[in-house]
Chain A
Amino acid sequence: MRATESSTSLLRWACLAAAAVVTVTACGSSSTATGSTIAPPPTATMKPQASIGAGEGQLNLILWDGYADKSWADPFTAATGCKLNLHPAGSSDEMVSLMKDGGGGQWDMVSASGDADLRLIYSGDVKPMNTDLIPDYQNFQAYFKSPPYNTISGVHYGISLQWGPNTLLYNTKKFTTAPTSWSVIYDKAYQGLVTVPDNPIQIADGALYLMKTKPSLGITDPYELTRPQFDATVALLKSQQPLIKHYWSLAADEITLFQNQDVVVGAAWPYQTIQLKGLPNGSDFADTIPQEGATGWADTWMLATKAAHPNCAYMWAKWVSTAQVQAEQALSFGETPVNSKACAQMDALQSGSCKQYHADETGAAYFNTIKFWKTPLATCDDGSNSCIPYADWVSAWTTIKG
């Protein structure tokens, strides 16, 4: 059971990163057209509904597999009468293509990730949501009330859901004190003992490291790299390749790698650490966010422009924002809830889990160290076209792995 769970959530993440690519390209082209000032999204002026009416009896969701787990979806249907029709998507790209034409009247909501959000917003496939109808919105941690990936000029195009960092996982027998820098995964001393995700977005992790260790490159955003910055990052990752034991694809694989001491250090999600700590020799494993900071992901429930069941959609957004459901989902996936009140429920479900997932952190201190995933675009933030687009990231990743 655990294995299946982990592999689906892992698959989802692998796809997530992959899909991010295509997503942002669309908004990239829109910013290209208008220079550095981006035209407002087509649905920006649509007025969200002011109240939640009677449920329509059903709700059609595009989501990551397991985001409507029976343990919180069945009580929702029982309470609201909204029958859920689920379409688990394999990637952000699939989500974006299913949502074309505002969901076509067929789909009501999508649990999009940060890499897909802007594309959905700028193509007019999703519309503004009224956060006043979500009571728990007030309990969201400050950053997730209006994160840049789902809120534009103060207009909310969805309700933040969960997020997570990409951490540095290590074996405590090899590292008696927590490594303070990502340099350990580029260090020849650990040849053949390192693992990183098999994912082109991993290039951003290299860029994040160079951002701090080679300031002369002038990297300011690990997802916006100019040719020299990109080449330097690729060179770093190529030099890392001989140190790698295995590029992992599924979280369960990385757990096996650490469990059997095939590797002692690597890039991971909090999920892996939690699973490893549950083992008899769990004290052998720990994770940390080194001084250079970390990358991370964040998901949002978004409302299709042509949603046919908007009332059920709002009821669902309300439901998954409650502290209890937020806590259940967080523990089921190894994610961190955006609802600050979910902490107590998490600890009630699994003692100490709130702290483990950093759900207790408030304010900007912890988030500021995290660079959330976004799709690399050819258009940099300054409007110039000198950045390396995601398609090049993918081919470079092939070259890095060899």
Chain B
Amino acid sequence: MAVKTTGRLPSKGAGAAPLQGLFWRHPWLRPLLLLAPPVGWFVLIYFAALVLLLVTAFWTIDPFTTQIVQSWSLDNFTTIVSDSTYGTIIGRTVLLAALVTITDAVLAFPFAYYMARVASRRWQTALFAAVLLPLWASYLARLYAWILILNHSGLLNWSLQSIGLPPANIGYSNVAMWLVFSYIWLPFMIIPVYAALERMPESLLEAAADLGARRWRTLRDVVLPLVLPGVIAGSIFTFSLTLGDYITPILIGGASSNLIGNVVYANIGIANNVPFAAALTMVPIAVMAIYLTIAQRLGAFEAL
């Protein structure tokens, strides 16, 4: 009996001690175990999916069976480069994304400036709500609202005609897409610009004034450099969101309004040509990689 008891106690302790000892001897083990699930998730779900996408891009499909043929070839990339249609579509997408980003930056700056530095506390809250409110409504609902505004007998033409101007037929065109994208992604630009402006110390403006800088000089040499990281942070959203969208072109685009997303969608959903879609997806990934590298150099990530 006594033997048994003495036999049990040390064995119980021995079960926990080696583990604790292990952690004590290897201090890196505990954080590793803690981090393993999130890191594993990231690697598996995020990274592996991306690698799989990359690999698929080098495969092709058999035209007879539409089954994926797992042999390495650059056919998909050759098609993208050699067929001018894809060049046009990629060019259109990048140009539109750039235009939307510039438009949003120009619109967001004065708005955010007023919100951060001029408006009273109460107004600030109200404006914040006003900026975020559209995000609560469905993306599709907002798109359809724009269709109602821009179409032939819509609000825009009605207003123009009632003040004696000729109608502007911009519904179902690339101009319409530019307007709608600029509207839809605007909050994503205002918020980071606002954050950058709010963090700007008042003392810097006072110092600029003391040193004799006028308003424009202060804006150019003090405010803009400090806000630039915020603008670039916002532009990451507006640029990448436009780059990947395919719903707006479907609903409000004109005859030649295909974006990269639409071609990807058609190749997956209609043609079942996943390899080609994967190859085409590499284009926005490459564009974003270049863009993010530049943004990082400009210090945008510090403002996020």
A8 at the interface (CB under 8 A from B): no
Contact of B64 (CB < 8 Å), options: A25, A241, A257 = A25
A391 touches B66 (CB 8 A): yes
Q: Provide the bound-state CA to CA distance between A25 and B61, in Å.
A: 12
B66 touches A249 (CB 8 A): no
Contact of B256 (CB < 8 Å), options: A18, A29, A395, A401 = A401
A262 touches B63 (CB 8 A): no
A260 touches B63 (CB 8 A): no
A41 at the interface (CB under 8 A from B): no
A389 touches B151 (CB 8 A): no
Please name all residues of chain B whose beta carbon is closer than 8 Å to the beta carbon of A242 when the two chains form the complex: 255
Please name all residues of chain B whose beta carbon is closer than 8 Å to the beta carbon of A260 when the two chains form the complex: 151-154, 171
- Against A, the Cβ 8 Å flags (1 = close, 0 = not) of B49-90 are 000000000000101111000000000000100010110110
In whole Å, how far is B123's beta carbon from the nearest beta carbon of chain A?
A: 37
Please name all residues of chain B whose beta carbon is closer than 8 Å to the beta carbon of A399 when the two chains form the complex: 83, 85
B242 at the interface (CB under 8 A from A): no
B263 at the interface (CB under 8 A from A): yes
A15 at the interface (CB under 8 A from B): yes
B64 touches A394 (CB 8 A): no
Known: A26-B65, A378-B64, A402-B85. A246 touches B254 (CB 8 A): yes
Give the A-B contact count at a CB cut-off of 8 A.
99
B256 touches A402 (CB 8 A): yes
B152-170 at interface with A (beta carbon < 8 Å): 152-154, 169
Contact of A245 (CB < 8 Å), options: B61, B255, B258 = B255
Please name all residues of chain B whose beta carbon is closer than 8 Å to the beta carbon of A398 when the two chains form the complex: 85-86, 89, 258, 263, 266
Known: A244-B255, A260-B151, A401-B255. A378 touches B269 (CB 8 A): no
A391 touches B263 (CB 8 A): no
B240 at the interface (CB under 8 A from A): no
Known: A21-B270, A200-B270, A397-B266. A391 touches B61 (CB 8 A): yes
- Against B, the Cβ 8 Å flags (1 = close, 0 = not) of A208-247 are 0000000000000000000000000000000001111111
- Provide the main secondary structure of the chain A interface: helix
Please name all residues of chain A whose beta carbon is closer than 8 Å to the beta carbon of B269 when the two chains form the complex: 15, 18, 90-91
Please name all residues of chain B whose beta carbon is closer than 8 Å to the beta carbon of A249 when the two chains form the complex: 250-251
B113 at the interface (CB under 8 A from A): no
- Against A, the Cβ 8 Å flags (1 = close, 0 = not) of B27-48 are 0000000000000000000000
B271 at the interface (CB under 8 A from A): yes
In whole Å, how far is A287's beta carbon from the nearest beta carbon of chain B?
A: 20
B218 at the interface (CB under 8 A from A): no
B66 touches A21 (CB 8 A): yes
| CB-nearest residue of chain B to A399 | B85
A182-205 at interface with B (beta carbon < 8 Å): 192, 198-200
A-B contact pairs, 13 of them (CB 8 A): A17-B270, A21-B270, A21-B271, A29-B64, A246-B254, A246-B255, A253-B251, A394-B273, A395-B79, A398-B85, A398-B86, A398-B266, A402-B256
A positions within 8 Å CB-CB of B? 15, 17-19, 21-22, 25-26, 28-29, 32, 90-91, 93, 192, 198-200, 241-247, 249, 253, 256-257, 260-262, 378, 389-392, 394-395, 397-399, 401-402
